[in-house]
Each structure stands twice: as C-alpha cells, then as structure tokens.
Structure 1
Amino acid sequence: MPQLIEIYRLSQSLFYICSMTELNIIWFRRDLRVHDHAALASACAAGGQIVPLFIFEPNYWQRADTSERQFEFAVESLADLDRALRQRGSQLCLRSGVVTEVLSRLHAQHGIASLHFHSLGNTPAEAEQDRQVRTWALKVGIPLREHTGIQHSISPHSDWDTAWRRHMRKPRIAAPAALPPLSIPSEGWPIASDFGLESDGCPNRQTGGRTNAILQLRWFLSGGGRNAGKANLSITACEATASRLSAHLTMGSVSEREVWQAAMKAQAALVTDGDETFATALHRFTEKLAKRSRRVQASARVSLTDTSLLPVDIHNREEASLADPRLSAWTNGKTGFPLLDASMRCLQATGHLESSLRSLLLSFATCHLWLGPVRPAQVLAQLCTDFAPAMYYVSASQVIGLSKAAPAYIPNPVRQSLSRDPDGAFIRKWIPEIAELPDQYLHAPWEAPKSALSAHGIILGQSYPMPLVDHVAAAREAKRRLSPDGASRPLPFHSIARKPLGIRRSTIGRNMTAKRSGHSPIQLSFDLQSQA
C-alpha cells in the first residue's frame, strides 16, 4: 500500500509539471503601450505563452500623495492598452498585491519561463522593488530580462546630451502584429475605493490612454504648439499652447522617443516651409523633453527618505496638522492672494497646472506660511494627474530650500500676478467672487478702496478672504531663516521670469526660405500610431 501511495503522488506531480504552461511574463508598469516597447519585444522573441501582466500595488495607492484622479487616469490608460492587446489576440492579465507575492503565485500555479520588464528604480521604494524582483527571480531560477532605459544607462559624468540624442534617434520598436491568446484567467478591474482612495472631484481632468496621447501630440505638432515656450506669455496663453503630454509620458502611453522623433520631423518640415516661429517652439519643446529625461536620471542619485520622498527639513519647519487653518486655506484656494488661489482651484478642477505655478504654490506654503514641507508637498502631489514621485520630489526639494543645487525659491505673489496675468483673465476664470473688480485692484484686493469693493458686492473676509500673511514681511523672514545672507535666486527650471531659451540658429534657421504669408497648419504624416 505505501508503494501505491508513493506512485500516486509521483503521478500527480508529473501531471502538475506537464500541465504547467511555462509563461513568458511581460510586466507592464509605467510603459502602457504596445509600440516602441523593448520589454514586450523581448517577451515576444522568447516565444511560447505570453502574459501581459499589470499589478495594482496597494502599497503605492495607499500612499499619502496618490489620489483617485491619478488612479482613474491609470485605469483609462490600462483600458486603452487592453484594447490594443485584444486587437492582437491577447489581453491584460490583472492582479493586485505585492509584486513578488503575485509572481510567486503565478509561478507556483502555472510556471514562469521568463520575466521581462522596464526597471524604474528612481525612488527608494522603486529601487527596492526592482532589487526584490531580481532576488526572487535568481532564487527560483527564472531568466530575467530587465530593460533599463536611457536614464539609468548613462553615468553622471558622461556626455549625457549626446547619449540621449543618440538613443532618441534609434529606430522605434514596432508593435507586435499578433499575440497568442491569454492562457490564464485575469482578475477583475479594481476601483479606487478598493485602495481607500476617496473621490476628489476633478471634473475637467484629462482622459488617459495612448489614443488620447496621440491625438494630443498631433494637435500640438499641427499648430497647437506654435507659441509653446515663448517668453512673457500670460498664463492663459501658456495654457492654450501647452502640449499637455506630461501625464501621458508619466504613464508611458507614448514613449519619449516617439514624441521626440515626431517633433523633430515636424520641426524639419517647418524649417523647409519657412515657419521659423513654430520651428523655434518645437526646438524649445524637444529641449524640454531632454530636461525631463535628465531630471529622471538625477532623481535616481538623490538621497530621499522612504516616508516622504523629501530630504529631512534642516530648517525645522513644524509639520502642519490637517486641521491647521493655514494649510486648509492654502489647500482650498482661500489664501487671499488671487493668483495663488486661482492656481490652486485650477489644479483641483483640472489636475494640471504649469510647473512655475506649482512652484509658486509650494513656495508660498513652505516659505511665506512657514509650514513643514511634507504635508503641502503631498497635497500638491495628490492634485497632479501627472504625478511621478521621483521627478516631483526632486523639483519640490529645490523649491522649498532642501536641495544643495539651489536656494529656496521665494517669489512675490502679487508681482507674479501682475506679470503673469496682466489682464486678469486667469484670476477671473477661477475666482468669480472678485471677477468684477477693475484690473488695478484685482491682483491685490485688500488695496482697493471700500467704495470699489462695495460697488461690486465684495466684503473682504466674507465674500473673499483677507491675505493670510503680510507677504513682504513673511518673505523677508523666510529668507533670513533659509539663508544667512538673505539671497534667493530663481530655480533653473522653475523660473517665473520665463526668459527666452537660447536657440542655435544653425539647427533651425539655416537655409530658411521666405516666410509664408499665412500660418495654416502644415499637413504632415507624423508616422504615429494609436494603440491599434
């Protein structure tokens, strides 16, 4: 009898081994596309059963700087990816949980032949996760194909710009024409409340997904970006010409290389066409792309704390509680400074705000109000649909005076209001309670005579708040506390002054033909494909 039992156990083990499907896992992360995807191409080259896997990680979505708007944008991006996979015969395999635990269960149930993914490693948590996955794969003997990308493969001392452009010029990787059917079941789609994310009301949020990313890019390159990056534009003019691609790049619905090559192709056509204005704008745009990628690389070399992703505040600012009236007024756009309040309300309603205004908000909270930086940084992060932890916190640490690269940035909110929104269009759009004020009082309502206020039914402290602080005195005190000599310089990539970028004429203006009399959008095939 014992021999029969042993034979039965052996037969069951052999049956289990033979029934294992040996999966080639393509683990999607912030690369939600089928085009120009090195890890997907690697998995396809391995042959056999391919599982397009995405893991919803509770530890990430339960952080204090994530939000429902970010989750919904990610789900929309994933849904678009799923449609693309289904058109090719496959579909997304969804799981929730700790990554190594999910992989262990898949390996135990089905067998994993290889694991393919793009590494992140830009924050302590991402680097630790990548390390744990490598260790797990080595322990169980699974071949691992990790694609590092440009930001991790260039050393800090190399000619970064040259190497980055060399990478951008490489041919894009074609999407697979067909994929084998998914051979294992997928879990259902989670919802935001599964991770404790509360509704945050973002009625004008962008819609995620590659389809929308390509439409946005085509709009920008076909005329929408004509004035992008031009010096001294008002806020509303900047909004009208912004690419609005940052959230799509964050989720990887479109690759940097796809965007760069399309922009360079459009720029070359514009040079031939004689449209120097638009060509210059696209030159600035590609330079901005390079800065974005460089910032990702820089973030991987910055020491960040595991809890807040900000360096320790050496200035000992006291962290505000959620009940702190200063934090509440700042969060709800009721500081009494119109440009600040309009910026916050815009961000709450749209999930998008240009970087200089984000810096203005964060600087005011941590310098003028002297709030500890962690909570304001988290609040602002929650509101940004394009939140990417590494880049966000490296920039934030510079704004609030926690970086060796630059001193704290302490702008004058009234002066910036006059400079950036001279006609008050942005303020009037987002702060209707003071929209009827004449231009000369709109930027500093507390300076308006009572007759002007009463004529428009405005009672400061009731219909619109009085300023939280004397901004001049608060800035003076913050400078004294932050730097012994009281110096403060604008940050290199958050300069409110919006100085025009230097343009090498040899790259965009050489052999320029006569300018066209009209500026109708040129017709170009940008060689871009949606998920289809």
Structure 2
Amino acid sequence: MPQLIEIYRLSQSLFYICSMTELNIIWFRRDLRVHDHAALASACAAGGQIVPLFIFEPNYWQRADTSERQFEFAVESLADLDRALRQRGSQLCLRSGVVTEVLSRLHAQHGIASLHFHSLGNTPAEAEQDRQVRTWALKVGIPLREHTGIQHSISPHSDWDTAWRRHMRKPRIAAPAALPPLSIPSEGWPIASDFGLESDGCPDRQTGGRTNAILQLRWFLSGGGRNAGKANLSITACEATASRLSAHLTMGSVSEREVWQAAMKAQAALVTDGDETFATALHRFTEKLAKRSRRVQASARVSLTDTSLLPVDIHNREEASLADPRLSAWTNGKTGFPLLDASMRCLQATGHLESSLRSMLLSFATCHLWLGPVRPAQVLAQLCTDFAPAMYYGSASQVIGLSKAAPPYIPNPVRQSLSRDPDGAFIRKWIPEIAELPDQYLHAPWEAPKSALSAHGIILGQSYPMPLVDHVAAAREAKRRLSPDGASRPLPFHSIARKPLGIRRSTIGRNMTAKRSGHSPIQLSFDLQSQA
C-alpha cells in the first residue's frame, strides 16, 4: 500500500509538471494593438505558448477620476484587439485583480517562461507598479522584457526633439501573421458596475478601438484636418477639423509613430502638390504630437506624493464637498456664463472638449470660484474620454496656479465667448434655453434689457441662472491671491510649463525639404491598416 501511495503521488507530480505550459506572457496595457508593438514582437520571438494578457485593475477603476465612459471606451478598444488576435488564431486572456497577484497565480498554475510589456511609469502609481512587477519577476526568476520607448534626458539643454524624431522615423514593427491558440482559459468580460462605476450618460461618446482610430486618421489626413491648429478659428470650426485621436492615442489603439509617419507621408504629398495650407496644418499637427510625447516623458521624471496627482495647494483654497452649490452649478453647466456652461454640457455629452476650453473650465472653478483644485480636477477628469493621468494633471497644475514656471491661466469668460464663438453657434447648440437671444446679448445675458429677455420667455434665475460671481472682481482677487509672493517654492510639473519644447521653428517649406531628402520611401510609407 505505501508503494501504491508513492506511485500515485509521483504520477500527480508528473501530471502537474506536464501541465506547466511555460507561457510567454504579453501584458497589454495602454498599447491595445497588434501593429507596431515591440513587446508583442518580443513575445513572438520567444516562441512557444503566447498569452495575450490584459488585467482589469480595481485600484485604477475605483479612483475618483475614472468613469464609466472611460471604461466603456477601453472595453471597446480591447474588443477590437481581441478580434485582431482571433483573426491570427489567438485571443485575449482577461483577468481582474492586482497585477503581481494575477501573475503569481498564472505562474503557479501554468508556469511563466517570460514576461513582455511596455512600461508606463508616468505617474507614481504606474512607476510603483512597474517596480513591483520587476521585483516579482526577479524574485521568481522569470526573464522580463520591458520596452520603454524613448528614454532621453529632458532638460533645457537636451535635444529631445531630435531623439524623438529619430524614434518616429524607425520602421514600424509588423504585426504577427499568426499566433498560437490560447492555451489557458480566459475570465469573462467585466462590466463597469463591477468596479463601482456608475452610469454617467455620454450619448455622443467616441467609439473605441483601432478600427475607428484608423477611420478617424484617414478622414483627418484626407482633408478633414485641413485647418487643424489654425489661429483664430471659432469653436465650431475647431471641432469640425479636430483629429479626435487623443483618446485612441491614450489607449494605444494606434502608436504615435504610426500617426506621425502617416501625417509625414501626407504632408510630403501636399508639399509636392503645392497645397501649403494643408501641409502647414499637418506640420502643426506633428509638432503637437511631439509636445504630447514630451509631456508624457517629462511627467515620468517628477516626484509626486499626493494621491490626487496635483501639487499641494499652497494657496489654501477650500476643498469643496459634492454638495457645495458652486461645485454643483459648475459641474452641471449652470454657472450663468454661457460659454462655460456650453463647454461643460458639451463635455458631459461627448466626452471631448478642446484643451483651451477644458482649461477655462478648470480655471473658473479654482480661480473665479476659489474652490480647492482636487475635486474640480477629478470631476473634469471623469468627463474626459481621453483621460491620461500624467498628461492631464501635468497640464492642470499649470492652469490653476500651482506652478512657479508659469502664471495661472485666468481667462475672461465673456471675452473668450465673444472671441471664440462670435456667432453664438456653439452656445446655442448646448444652451437652448437662451438660443433665441440676439447675438449682442447671448454672451452676457444678464446685461440684456428685460424687454429682450421677456420677448423670448427668459427669466434669469429661473430659465437660466444668474452669474455665480462678478467675474471681473473674482479674477482680480484670484490674481492677487495667486501672486508670486504666494508661490515662492518650485512645485512638481514645473518642467512642462508653457514654453518652447525644443521643436525646430523652420519654415514649412524648408522643414519639408529636409524631411523629403532624409527619409526613405519605406519609412514614410503607411497603409493605415486596421487591426486585421
């Protein structure tokens, strides 16, 4: 009998050993594509069983600045990635939980031969997670292949732009033609409520996924972006020509290199055809891409301890509760300032708003209303489908007077309204209750005579609110409180103030001549492939 028991135990051990499939894990994060994916190529080169893994992390989705709209966009992006993997013979392996705990269970159950991923490290939480994964892999003896992208000193004297462009010019990494079948079971798809995310109603939200990203990029480069970045455009004109790629870039459905090379190819063709207007627009677009990437890189080199990812507010603004009527009015687009309210309602309904209007909203809450910055910043973050913590909070700290390197941004909401929406089209679209007002009263309805208001059935304070504050006096007081005397020490994110980013300021013609002579046709070619 003892011999039989020993034989049984040995057979069980052999069964366990045979069941250890030695997985090569490709851990997807904010890189939800199969094209131009260094970590996926690395995993494929390792051979053997490949597991395309995505981990839903409760700690992230339970933050105060995440939302259902962001979650749904991420799930759509993942579903598109899953379809691409299935076309190649594999599929996504879904898990939920703390990353190192998920990896530990997979290793215990199946054995992990190698782990491949793109590092993030742009916020304290991301950097700590990367560190924990490295430590775990070292402890259990698993080879780790971490792909970091551009690693170049970002200082006032560094030629970061040259390094970035060199990286952008490298040939894109081809998607694998085929992948081995997934050898382990996947968990089911979670839903937003699993993480406590409430429905936030975003009827006109963009749809996620590489397929939609490529369609949007094609539209932009085929003529939609002809006036992109042009000065003095109205809000509606800016909306009509915006690339709308920020959310897709945030999720990594397309890589920056793919977008840059596509834009450069289109720009070269436009220069050849003599279309300077469109070529200049694409030049502005590629510089904006560089600025975006630089901000991400710079944010990885600052040190933050505050869980809100904002520097400590040294101006002692009172943090507002959710019940604060000022915060409620601002959140619901009922401040009494038409451009502010239209901007907030647009963001509520679409999840998208141009950056200058986002800045105006945040500035009004933290400067004119003098609310503590954390809660308004979180509310605004929840509404943005393209929310990327490092970039978002890096910009926010500039706007609200928490950076010594740049003054706070305190725009006049009425002056901005007259300048950015002169015909009132944007305001009338989002604030129908005052849409019938003549242009001369639309931007500041409290200045309209009672006869003009009553003629259109408008009662200020009932059909549309009175202004929350005297905006001129509030701005003056905010500037006094935020004077340099009150901000005497350097704060995080000061390295990404509004100042030149080292991008060459050559003319479009000279710039394009240099690029056309320096790039090979292969490097500039781009077929705008979807996930297939």
In structure 2, relative to structure 1, the CA distance for the partners of 1:369 and 1:496 (3 Å cut) is farther
Q: Cα deviations across residues 323-349 of structure 1 (Å, max 9, x unaligned)?
A: 000000000000000000000000000
8 Å CA contact 1:416, 1:496 repeated in 2: no
8 Å CA contact 1:265, 1:526 repeated in 2: yes
In structure 2, relative to structure 1, the CA distance for the partners of 1:300 and 1:408 (3 Å cut) is same
In structure 2, relative to structure 1, the CA distance for the partners of 1:436 and 1:488 (3 Å cut) is farther
SS at match of 2:514: coil
Q: Cα deviations across residues 173-224 of structure 1 (Å, max 9, x unaligned)?
A: 0000000000001111111111110000000000000000000000000000
8 Å CA contact 1:408, 1:488 repeated in 2: no
In structure 2, relative to structure 1, the CA distance for the partners of 1:350 and 1:498 (3 Å cut) is farther
8 Å CA contact 1:356, 1:495 repeated in 2: no
Moved more, 459-468 or 396-405: 396-405
Deviation at residue 12 of structure 1 after TM alignment: 1.9
Moved more, 150-159 or 311-320: 150-159
Deviation at residue 153 of structure 1 after TM alignment: 7.5
8 Å CA contact 2:161, 2:502 repeated in 1: no
Identity of aligned residues (%): 99
In structure 2, relative to structure 1, the CA distance for the partners of 1:275 and 1:518 (3 Å cut) is farther
TM-score (norm 2): 0.93
Structure 2 distance, partners of 1:514, 1:375, is 47
In structure 2, relative to structure 1, the CA distance for the partners of 1:499 and 1:160 (3 Å cut) is closer
TM-score (norm 1): 0.93
Deviation at residue 375 of structure 1 after TM alignment: 0.3
Please provide the CA RMSD for this pair. Answer: 4.3
8 Å CA contact 2:55, 2:96 repeated in 1: yes
8 Å CA contact 1:368, 1:474 repeated in 2: yes
Deviation at residue 158 of structure 1 after TM alignment: 3.1
8 Å CA contact 2:337, 2:443 repeated in 1: yes
In structure 2, relative to structure 1, the CA distance for the partners of 1:482 and 1:524 (3 Å cut) is closer
Deviation at residue 11 of structure 1 after TM alignment: 3.2
Deviation at residue 17 of structure 1 after TM alignment: 1.2
Q: For this pair of structures, how many residues does the alignment match?
A: 532
Moved more, 445-454 or 148-157: 148-157
Moved more, 134-143 or 510-519: 510-519
Moved more, 301-310 or 244-253: 301-310
Q: Cα deviations across residues 284-308 of structure 1 (Å, max 9, x unaligned)?
A: 0000000000000111122223421
In structure 2, relative to structure 1, the CA distance for the partners of 1:151 and 1:288 (3 Å cut) is farther
8 Å CA contact 1:151, 1:294 repeated in 2: no
The unaligned stretches of length 5 or more in structure 2 are none
SS at match of 2:289: helix
SS at match of 1:184: coil
The unaligned stretches of length 5 or more in structure 1 are none
In structure 2, relative to structure 1, the CA distance for the partners of 1:156 and 1:109 (3 Å cut) is farther
8 Å CA contact 1:333, 1:340 repeated in 2: yes
Structure 2 distance, partners of 1:365, 1:521, is 50
8 Å CA contact 2:406, 2:498 repeated in 1: no
In structure 2, relative to structure 1, the CA distance for the partners of 1:502 and 1:319 (3 Å cut) is closer
SS at match of 1:53: strand
Structure 1 distance, partners of 2:341, 2:146, is 44
8 Å CA contact 1:232, 1:499 repeated in 2: no
8 Å CA contact 1:409, 1:489 repeated in 2: no
Within 5 A, what are the aligned runs for 1:149-298? Answer: 149-150=149-150, 158-298=158-298
Structure 2 distance, partners of 1:496, 1:158, is 14
Structure 2 distance, partners of 1:426, 1:485, is 39
In structure 2, relative to structure 1, the CA distance for the partners of 1:187 and 1:88 (3 Å cut) is same
Q: Cα deviations across residues 45-85 of structure 1 (Å, max 9, x unaligned)?
A: 00000000000001100000000000000000000000000
SS at match of 2:102: helix
In structure 2, relative to structure 1, the CA distance for the partners of 1:167 and 1:525 (3 Å cut) is closer
Deviation at residue 5 of structure 1 after TM alignment: 3.7
8 Å CA contact 1:336, 1:468 repeated in 2: yes
8 Å CA contact 2:34, 2:175 repeated in 1: yes
Moved more, 137-146 or 506-515: 506-515
SS at match of 1:522: helix
Structure 1 distance, partners of 2:288, 2:432, is 34
In structure 2, relative to structure 1, the CA distance for the partners of 1:151 and 1:374 (3 Å cut) is farther
SS at match of 1:55: strand
**Structure-1 residue corresponding to 2:530:** 530
**Structure-2 residue corresponding to 1:375:** 375
Moved more, 18-27 or 248-257: 18-27
Deviation at residue 410 of structure 1 after TM alignment: 0.8
